[in-house]
Structure 1
Amino acid sequence: MRDFQAIADRFEIEALRGEFTDAAMMHDYDRLASLFTEDGVVRIPAINAETAGREGIRAGAERLQGQWNYFVQITHAGTIQLEGDTAVGRAYISELGQLRDGSSHQNYAIYHDRYRRTADGWKFAERVYEIRYVDSTPLLGSAPQTAGATAKENTPTTK
């Protein structure tokens, strides 16, 4: 990897994947939608869900997140194959949460991604969420009372 542009592209794509997880966990649906191209698509075959376009992605994320009492997603390093102004990759995901109906889920999954370079940097053109493992055993922990607080309220301050 001697090409500095390739290094910068990989770094930006990795940051894009981190921004996605942060936006989802912070319930920042506008930011989450902005991470996609105008014609971007999200597919979740396990629940036969597909949303397209930024508005559809925003609405779909808000609808899905609205079903959870609490939700935690962690993105692990994956792969990136650059192809000029496009790229493909995979990101490995671990999640846990409790739905409003009281059921619990611990998932291990893969995002199969297509990326596109835009005037605003790298964006998702497509994310396909493939579940590899689900454990619906009730989770023993719970979210602390501050879980619904805004990110600013949960951010430590220094004096």
Structure 2
Amino acid sequence: MHDLKAIADRVEIDALRGDFTDSALTRDWDRFAALFTVDGMWRIPGAAEFFSREEIRAGIERLQGNWEFFVQANHQGTVSIEGDLAVGRVYVSEFGRFHDGRSHRNFSVYHDRYLRTPDGWRFTERVYEVKYVDSSPLTGAPPVPVS
């Protein structure tokens, strides 16, 4: 990993994974979908599967619409690069509360495939695997804005 190009690729892929979380939490659905190739796949086994940018864009908006609040944090993962293709994993912790009052907390891993495109690295496939889930009520709440 002494090659500067390899280091730059890893930094760009890490930024891609960060942009995924940031665009979801800021509700920037167009930016979220643009992180995937045109025929990219996003799979949440047992919950949802999306097979194009258009489906991903509609899917993230629909899924996020279920939450009163939602927080996701990425944790260090792995990446292996071969030319213009790469595979990796990133670890995720999430919590939030649905509009119906149910709470949710989980620890998961994304299994990723990436492609270098003229616009930079993009996801070709992102598959979510839940490692731990907790549905006990969250006792906190988002802060109330001060006027």
TM range (shorter): over 0.9
TM-score if structure 1 supplies the norm length?
0.89
Over the matched positions of the two proteins, sequence identity in percent amounts to 61
Q: How far apart are the structure 1 equivalents of 2:55 and 2:143?
A: 31
Structure 2 equivalent of residue 136 of structure 1: 135
**1:40-80 Cα shifts (integer Å, max 9, x gaps):** 00001132x11011111000000000000000000011000
Q: Please show how residues 41-120 of structure 1 align to structure 2 within 5 Å.
A: 41-47=41-47, 49-120=48-119
Distance 2:79 2:34 in 1: 21
Aligned partners of 1:143 and 1:60: how far apart in 2? 24
In the TM superposition, what is the alpha-carbon distance from 1:105 to its structure 2 partner? 0.5
Could you tell me the TM-score, scaled by structure 2's length? 0.97
Structure 2: unaligned runs, 5 residues or longer: none
Q: Match of 1:19?
A: 19
Q: Over residues 77-128 of structure 1, what are the superposed CA-to-partner deviations in whole Å (9 max), with x where a residue is unaligned?
A: 1000001100000000000000111000011000000000000000000100
CA RMSD of aligned residues (A): 0.7
Q: In proportion to residue count, which structure has more helix?
A: 1
Q: Structure 1: which 4+ aligned runs deviate by more than 3 Å?
A: none
In the comparison of the two structures, how many residue pairs are matched?
145
